[in-house]
Amino acid sequence: MLKIGLVSVSDRASSGVYEDKGIPELKYWLTTAIKGEFTVEARLIADEQPLVEQALMELVDMHSCHLILTTGGTGPAKRDITPDATLAIADRVMPGFGEQMRQISLHFVPTAILSRQVGVIRKSCLIINLPGQPKSIKETLEGVKDANGNVLVNGIFASIPYCIQLLEGPYIETQEQVIKAFRPKSALK
Ligand SMILES: Nc1ncnc2c1ncn2[C@@H]1O[C@H](COP(=O)(O)OP(=O)(O)OP(=O)(O)O)[C@@H](O)[C@H]1O
Ligand SMILES: Nc1nc2c(c(=O)[nH]1)N[C@H]1C(S)=C(S)[C@@H](COP(=O)(O)O)O[C@H]1N2
Protein backbone atom coordinates (compact mmCIF):
# COMPACT_ATOMS: atom_id res chain seq x y z
CA MET A 1 0.00 0.00 0.00
CA LEU A 2 1.10 3.55 -0.77
CA LYS A 3 2.79 5.16 2.23
CA ILE A 4 3.23 8.95 2.39
CA GLY A 5 5.36 10.87 4.87
CA LEU A 6 4.31 14.42 5.74
CA VAL A 7 6.71 16.81 7.48
CA SER A 8 5.65 20.27 8.62
CA VAL A 9 8.69 22.41 9.46
CA SER A 10 7.70 25.45 11.51
CA ASP A 11 9.19 27.03 14.63
CA ARG A 12 5.90 28.60 15.63
CA ALA A 13 3.55 25.71 14.85
CA SER A 14 5.85 23.18 16.54
CA SER A 15 6.06 25.32 19.70
CA GLY A 16 2.31 25.98 19.83
CA VAL A 17 2.39 29.72 18.93
CA TYR A 18 -0.06 28.89 16.16
CA GLU A 19 -1.92 25.79 15.12
CA ASP A 20 -0.21 23.74 12.41
CA LYS A 21 -2.17 24.00 9.16
CA GLY A 22 0.48 22.24 7.06
CA ILE A 23 -0.24 18.60 7.93
CA PRO A 24 -4.08 18.98 7.80
CA GLU A 25 -3.89 20.78 4.42
CA LEU A 26 -1.55 18.14 2.98
CA LYS A 27 -3.79 15.31 4.22
CA TYR A 28 -6.92 17.00 2.89
CA TRP A 29 -5.44 17.65 -0.55
CA LEU A 30 -4.06 14.11 -0.88
CA THR A 31 -7.42 12.63 0.13
CA THR A 32 -9.20 14.60 -2.60
CA ALA A 33 -6.53 13.79 -5.21
CA ILE A 34 -5.62 10.11 -4.76
CA LYS A 35 -7.96 7.27 -5.70
CA GLY A 36 -7.59 4.33 -3.36
CA GLU A 37 -6.08 3.88 0.03
CA PHE A 38 -2.83 5.20 1.41
CA THR A 39 -1.31 5.53 4.85
CA VAL A 40 0.29 8.63 6.32
CA GLU A 41 3.16 9.12 8.76
CA ALA A 42 3.30 12.75 9.91
CA ARG A 43 5.86 14.89 11.81
CA LEU A 44 5.68 18.48 13.06
CA ILE A 45 9.15 19.84 13.83
CA ALA A 46 11.13 23.04 14.40
CA ASP A 47 13.40 24.59 11.76
CA GLU A 48 16.51 22.72 12.92
CA GLN A 49 18.56 20.97 10.23
CA PRO A 50 19.49 17.87 12.29
CA LEU A 51 15.80 17.37 13.24
CA VAL A 52 14.63 17.65 9.63
CA GLU A 53 17.36 15.29 8.39
CA GLN A 54 16.49 12.79 11.13
CA ALA A 55 12.76 12.92 10.33
CA LEU A 56 13.38 12.40 6.60
CA MET A 57 15.80 9.52 7.15
CA GLU A 58 13.39 7.85 9.59
CA LEU A 59 10.46 8.14 7.18
CA VAL A 60 12.49 6.58 4.35
CA ASP A 61 14.70 4.07 6.15
CA MET A 62 12.35 2.83 8.91
CA HIS A 63 8.86 3.57 7.57
CA SER A 64 9.59 2.85 3.87
CA CYS A 65 7.60 5.83 2.61
CA HIS A 66 7.20 6.02 -1.18
CA LEU A 67 6.65 9.77 -1.12
CA ILE A 68 7.47 12.50 1.41
CA LEU A 69 6.07 16.02 1.21
CA THR A 70 7.57 18.67 3.45
CA THR A 71 6.07 22.12 4.03
CA GLY A 72 7.88 25.21 5.34
CA GLY A 73 11.39 26.51 5.75
CA THR A 74 12.31 26.81 2.06
CA GLY A 75 13.01 30.57 1.95
CA PRO A 76 16.20 32.60 2.33
CA ALA A 77 15.87 33.39 6.07
CA LYS A 78 18.59 32.10 8.40
CA ARG A 79 16.35 29.45 9.97
CA ASP A 80 14.97 28.23 6.61
CA ILE A 81 16.94 24.98 6.26
CA THR A 82 14.49 22.43 4.80
CA PRO A 83 16.11 22.25 1.32
CA ASP A 84 19.58 21.99 2.91
CA ALA A 85 18.44 19.08 5.10
CA THR A 86 16.73 17.43 2.12
CA LEU A 87 19.83 17.68 -0.07
CA ALA A 88 22.03 16.43 2.78
CA ILE A 89 20.17 13.10 3.00
CA ALA A 90 19.51 12.73 -0.76
CA ASP A 91 20.96 10.14 -3.11
CA ARG A 92 19.90 12.00 -6.27
CA VAL A 93 18.43 15.40 -7.12
CA MET A 94 15.39 15.78 -9.38
CA PRO A 95 15.84 19.40 -10.55
CA GLY A 96 12.61 19.45 -12.59
CA PHE A 97 10.48 19.57 -9.46
CA GLY A 98 12.09 22.72 -8.08
CA GLU A 99 12.01 24.39 -11.48
CA GLN A 100 8.34 23.56 -12.12
CA MET A 101 7.20 24.50 -8.58
CA ARG A 102 8.69 27.98 -8.89
CA GLN A 103 7.13 28.39 -12.36
CA ILE A 104 3.70 27.42 -11.01
CA SER A 105 4.01 29.60 -7.93
CA LEU A 106 4.92 32.69 -9.99
CA HIS A 107 1.31 32.59 -11.20
CA PHE A 108 0.23 33.13 -7.57
CA VAL A 109 2.97 35.27 -5.94
CA PRO A 110 5.90 37.28 -7.33
CA THR A 111 8.00 36.08 -4.39
CA ALA A 112 7.88 32.48 -5.68
CA ILE A 113 11.53 32.83 -6.69
CA LEU A 114 12.45 33.15 -3.00
CA SER A 115 11.71 29.48 -2.38
CA ARG A 116 14.77 27.20 -2.55
CA GLN A 117 12.48 24.11 -2.61
CA VAL A 118 13.95 20.92 -4.12
CA GLY A 119 12.86 17.45 -5.18
CA VAL A 120 15.17 14.52 -4.45
CA ILE A 121 15.32 10.75 -4.25
CA ARG A 122 16.58 8.81 -1.24
CA LYS A 123 16.61 5.04 -1.86
CA SER A 124 13.20 4.47 -3.54
CA CYS A 125 11.47 7.48 -2.00
CA LEU A 126 10.64 10.76 -3.74
CA ILE A 127 10.96 13.75 -1.38
CA ILE A 128 9.53 17.14 -2.31
CA ASN A 129 9.69 20.47 -0.46
CA LEU A 130 6.63 22.76 -0.51
CA PRO A 131 6.61 26.31 0.87
CA GLY A 132 5.20 27.09 4.33
CA GLN A 133 2.13 29.12 3.36
CA PRO A 134 -0.66 26.53 3.72
CA LYS A 135 -2.33 27.76 0.50
CA SER A 136 0.86 27.00 -1.44
CA ILE A 137 0.29 23.25 -0.93
CA LYS A 138 -2.75 23.09 -3.23
CA GLU A 139 -1.27 25.71 -5.58
CA THR A 140 1.90 23.75 -6.18
CA LEU A 141 0.48 20.22 -6.26
CA GLU A 142 -2.59 21.09 -8.36
CA GLY A 143 -1.18 23.85 -10.61
CA VAL A 144 -2.94 26.75 -12.31
CA LYS A 145 -6.54 26.44 -13.55
CA ASP A 146 -8.90 28.92 -15.18
CA ALA A 147 -12.36 29.81 -13.81
CA ASN A 148 -13.85 26.74 -15.55
CA GLY A 149 -11.31 24.36 -14.08
CA ASN A 150 -9.28 23.98 -17.29
CA VAL A 151 -5.60 23.38 -16.58
CA LEU A 152 -3.33 26.26 -17.58
CA VAL A 153 -0.12 24.99 -15.91
CA ASN A 154 0.22 21.40 -14.70
CA GLY A 155 0.69 20.91 -10.98
CA ILE A 156 3.68 18.82 -9.98
CA PHE A 157 1.46 15.99 -8.72
CA ALA A 158 0.73 15.19 -12.39
CA SER A 159 4.25 13.71 -12.56
CA ILE A 160 4.43 12.04 -9.15
CA PRO A 161 2.55 8.76 -9.87
CA TYR A 162 4.82 7.93 -12.83
CA CYS A 163 7.93 8.88 -10.85
CA ILE A 164 6.90 6.53 -8.02
CA GLN A 165 6.17 3.82 -10.61
CA LEU A 166 9.69 4.23 -12.01
CA LEU A 167 11.00 3.90 -8.45
CA GLU A 168 9.14 0.55 -8.30
CA GLY A 169 6.53 1.82 -5.85
CA PRO A 170 2.74 1.27 -6.02
CA TYR A 171 0.62 2.29 -9.04
CA ILE A 172 -1.13 5.52 -8.06
CA GLU A 173 -4.36 6.65 -9.72
CA THR A 174 -5.77 10.15 -9.26
CA GLN A 175 -9.10 11.97 -9.34
CA GLU A 176 -8.82 13.62 -12.76
CA GLN A 177 -10.91 16.67 -11.87
CA VAL A 178 -8.34 17.48 -9.16
CA ILE A 179 -5.12 16.41 -10.92
CA LYS A 180 -4.63 14.26 -14.01
CA ALA A 181 -1.65 11.93 -13.70
CA PHE A 182 0.46 11.69 -16.85
CA ARG A 183 2.23 8.50 -17.94
CA PRO A 184 3.52 7.31 -21.28
CA LYS A 185 1.07 4.85 -22.89
CA SER A 186 3.53 2.01 -22.33
CA ALA A 187 3.38 2.59 -18.56
CA LEU A 188 -0.46 2.57 -18.28
CA LYS A 189 -2.05 -0.36 -16.46
N1 LIG B 1 2.78 25.03 9.74
C2 LIG B 1 2.10 26.16 9.55
N3 LIG B 1 0.81 26.28 9.97
C4 LIG B 1 0.13 27.43 9.77
N5 LIG B 1 0.62 28.50 9.12
C6 LIG B 1 1.87 28.44 8.69
C7 LIG B 1 2.68 27.27 8.89
N8 LIG B 1 3.90 27.49 8.35
C9 LIG B 1 3.85 28.73 7.85
N10 LIG B 1 2.65 29.31 8.05
C11 LIG B 1 2.24 30.64 7.62
O12 LIG B 1 2.94 30.98 6.43
C13 LIG B 1 3.83 32.07 6.65
C14 LIG B 1 5.13 31.88 5.90
O15 LIG B 1 5.72 30.62 6.26
P16 LIG B 1 7.25 30.45 6.71
O17 LIG B 1 7.61 28.99 6.56
O18 LIG B 1 8.08 31.44 5.98
O19 LIG B 1 7.15 30.75 8.25
P20 LIG B 1 8.31 31.35 9.14
O21 LIG B 1 8.23 32.83 9.00
O22 LIG B 1 9.59 30.64 8.80
O23 LIG B 1 7.82 30.96 10.59
P24 LIG B 1 7.62 29.56 11.33
O25 LIG B 1 8.78 28.64 11.02
O26 LIG B 1 7.56 29.92 12.76
O27 LIG B 1 6.28 28.99 10.83
C28 LIG B 1 3.96 32.15 8.18
O29 LIG B 1 4.28 33.44 8.60
C30 LIG B 1 2.60 31.68 8.65
O31 LIG B 1 1.64 32.72 8.57
N1 LIG C 1 2.61 28.66 -4.44
C2 LIG C 1 3.21 29.49 -3.58
N3 LIG C 1 4.54 29.53 -3.55
C4 LIG C 1 5.20 30.35 -2.70
C5 LIG C 1 4.47 31.19 -1.82
C6 LIG C 1 3.04 31.13 -1.87
O7 LIG C 1 2.30 31.81 -1.15
N8 LIG C 1 2.46 30.27 -2.76
N9 LIG C 1 5.17 32.02 -0.98
C10 LIG C 1 6.52 32.41 -1.40
C11 LIG C 1 7.27 33.09 -0.34
S12 LIG C 1 6.64 34.58 0.17
C13 LIG C 1 8.46 32.62 0.17
S14 LIG C 1 9.39 33.55 1.23
C15 LIG C 1 8.99 31.32 -0.26
C16 LIG C 1 9.56 30.49 0.88
O17 LIG C 1 8.56 30.19 1.83
P18 LIG C 1 8.81 29.26 3.09
O19 LIG C 1 10.04 29.77 3.79
O20 LIG C 1 7.54 29.40 3.86
O21 LIG C 1 9.00 27.85 2.62
O22 LIG C 1 7.99 30.55 -0.92
C23 LIG C 1 7.35 31.26 -1.95
N24 LIG C 1 6.54 30.35 -2.72
Q: Where are the domains of the chain?
A: 2-187
Model pTM above 0.90: yes
Q: Which residues make beta-bridge pairs with 130?
A: 71
Nearest Cα residue to atom 16 of ligand 2: 75
Report pLDDT for 35: 97
Report pLDDT for 114: 98
Q: Which atom of ligand 2 is nearest to the CA of 77?
A: 19
Residues 127-145: pLDDT tens digits?
Answer: 999 999 999 999 999 999 9
126 CA to middle of ligand 1, Å?
24
Say how many CA atoms lie within 13 Å of 87 toward its Cβ: 10
Nearest Cα residue to atom 20 of ligand 2: 132
Tell me the three state secondary structure of residue 149.
Answer: coil
**CATH class given for the domain over 2-187:** alpha beta
Report pLDDT for 158: 98
The answer to whether the CB of 93 is under 6 A from ligand 2 is no
Residues 83-130: pLDDT tens digits?
Answer: 999 999 999 999 999 999 999 999 999 999 999 999 999 999 999 999
The answer to whether the CB of 57 is under 6 A from ligand 2 is no
Tell me the three state secondary structure of residue 106.
Answer: helix
Q: Report the run of H or E that residue 139 belongs to, with start and end.
A: helix 135-142
In whole angstroms, what is the distance from residue 42 CA to residue 164 CA? 19
Nearest Cα residue to atom 3 of ligand 2: 105
Confidence of residue 160 (pLDDT cuts 50, 70, 90): very high
* CA neighbor of 129 nearest in space, from 77, 182, 52: 52
Report pLDDT for 63: 98
Report pLDDT for 85: 98
Nearest Cα residue to atom 19 of ligand 2: 75
| Pocket lining for ligand 1, CB < 6 angstroms | 8, 10-13, 18, 20-22, 47, 72-73, 75, 132-134
* CA neighbor of 40 nearest in space, from 1, 71, 9: 1
Q: Are 158 and 141 in contact (CB under 8 A)?
A: no
Confidence of residue 62 (pLDDT cuts 50, 70, 90): very high
Strands, E, within 46-176: which ranges? 67-71, 92-93, 119-122, 125-130, 143-145, 151-154, 173-174
Residues 3-52: pLDDT tens digits?
Answer: 999 999 999 999 999 999 999 999 999 999 999 999 999 999 999 999 99
The answer to whether the CB of 137 is under 6 A from ligand 2 is no
User: Does the model's ipTM exceed the 0.85 cut?
Assistant: yes
Report pLDDT for 46: 98
The answer to whether the CB of 20 is under 6 A from ligand 2 is no
- Ligand 2, residues 111, 117, 135, 144: which to mutate, most atoms within 8 A of Cβ? 111
Report pLDDT for 120: 98
Residues 163-179: pLDDT tens digits?
Answer: 999 999 999 999 999 99
168 CA to middle of ligand 2, Å?
31
